[in-house]
A and B are shown apart, each in its own frame.
Chain A
């Protein structure tokens, strides 16, 4: 039922999205002379910021304090094992998406990992597969859609889940379906285990999150930019993502009309 509601919400969002191509991607296609150099289209910013501050408050008053207590009580090894356990359960999501993306070898690694970690790794509590040179092959349906050519659509922030965009929201719903169907999980168990997973993950990132809070001028924009950077690489691969981004990032002076910038590569023929 929850899933159904999300699907309806997503369909609505699609319908509401203006057919303006400049909203469709973060690529250089939409850069015009006046566009900011790091264009992160964000037409739903008011909604997103509201959600973001809800999440932020939730984190500040509930999640983080609980995670600190959790971190205090739990040995590192246990925290890691809980993380491994939930990571192992992502097997169907990784596997189906490896296949859908046409990545046969990663799909094979994903299956082998699951077999090894579920048996030798005691129901996934340990990760011997990584030591056997079978590293995790992350893949998700938002990424699959992206590789098939679906543009990300506007950036979105969801309660609890956090950063996403229209495409990745669809991906999230589909992945949730893969995951739940495979293991026939009851809803209460699903909710409970998701909460434990979130709490445990948060407890392993206490310093990191605090550091990011301290370092940021506008945490919302920092999170949005980080999400967009990582997703661009997830979908286009490292090389293409860099090709798309690096010239503007590191040589933007080319756009300057200022005389003070020397043009060095002007060797006469």
Chain B
């Protein structure tokens, strides 16, 4: 189905893709490819570790993600112009809930790991110090590879991931359009409530709203 094709493989990619580890502070920024390679290795190590139960794996990967992703910048980019309309308290709530949402939904996939490997296929410099590293999740002969690009931004003496582009779909762009729609329909407070409810419910309750087309 076309929807399936369009949204292709977003999540298995991400569960593997959430990268990082709390290495000691490097003296200088590592080359971007190295940053991604290093973090991919860390994630694969967790996924492959025998005897580690699901919760422990989720926790370990969450920790890696927290260290390697800049959730504040991601939140800003995702909210775009709405960010400036929000109070500091609202911003704080959003960052906390969005972080939880991302790690919650993607963490659930640790058990579907099936010996995939991550291959770095290229990298390029972006304007103003950003860097993109291109990778491929190799899934063996039973499934097609998944293309995942990481957008990195320098922070301090290291890199932080600020966007993940899965099969040419930027998550920042995707979430931005969803939040834009919700905010312009329901307002910022309702958006925050929706986000918190979704997190609290854990499972996937799609807003089965009878809202209908406004």
Binding site for B on A (CB under 8 A): 36-38, 40, 45-46, 49-50, 55, 59, 63, 76-77, 80, 160-164, 198, 201-202, 204-205, 207-219, 221-227, 229-230, 233, 245-247, 249-253, 255-256, 258, 265
Contacts and interface: CB of A to CB of B under 8 A. Distances in A.
B157 interface: no
The 8 nearest A-B residue pairs measured at CB: A211-B11, A46-B213, A162-B2, A214-B204, A37-B80, A225-B177, A76-B142, A162-B3
A121 B142 CA distance: 16
B6 A205 contact: no
A202 B8 CA distance: 11
Query: Which of the listed residues B173, B175, B182 has the most CB atoms from chain A within 10 Å of its own CB?
Result: B173
Contact of B180 (A37, A204, A215, A233): A37
Given A37-B180, A208-B10, A210-B204, 12 more contacts: A37-B176, A38-B173, A204-B143, A205-B4, A208-B4, A211-B10, A215-B105, A229-B169, A229-B170, A230-B168, A249-B77, A250-B77
B105 A214 contact: yes
A77 B143 CA distance: 9
B173 A213 contact: no
Contacts of A209: 3-4, 7
A80 B144 CA distance: 9
Nearest to B205: A214
Given A46-B213, A162-B2, A223-B3, A207 B178 contact: no
Interface string B184-197: 10000000001100
Contact of B213 (A38, A49, A246, A249): A49
A218 B178 contact: yes
B163 A163 contact: no
A45 B126 contact: no
Contacts of B203: 214
Query: Which of the listed residues A213, A223, A249, A250 has the most CB atoms from chain B within 10 Å of its own CB?
Result: A250
The majority secondary structure among interface residues of chain A is: helix
Interface stretch (B26-34, B45-53, B64-72, B106-114): B106-114
B181 to A, nearest CB: 5
B8 A38 contact: no
B178 A225 contact: yes
Query: Which of the listed residues B6, B84, B182 has the most CB atoms from chain A within 10 Å of its own CB?
Result: B6
Contact of A252 (B81, B112, B174): B81
Query: Which of the listed residues B11, B80, B126, B177 has the most CB atoms from chain A within 10 Å of its own CB?
Result: B177
Contacts of A162: 1-3, 6
Interface of B: 1-12, 14, 76-77, 80-81, 84, 101-102, 105-106, 108-109, 112, 126-128, 130, 141-143, 151, 162-163, 167-170, 172-182, 184, 194-195, 198, 203-204, 206-207, 212-213
B11 A256 contact: no
14 contacts: A38-B80, A38-B177, A38-B180, A59-B3, A163-B2, A163-B6, A201-B1, A205-B4, A208-B4, A214-B11, A215-B11, A215-B106, A222-B178, A225-B173
A198 B3 CA distance: 11
A262 B102 CA distance: 28
A233 B168 contact: yes
B124 to A, nearest CB: 10
Given A211-B12, A265-B128, A38 B176 contact: yes
Contacts of B206: 213, 216, 219
A49 B168 CA distance: 24
B10 A221 contact: no
B6 A223 contact: yes
Nearest to A79: B142
Contacts of B130: 250
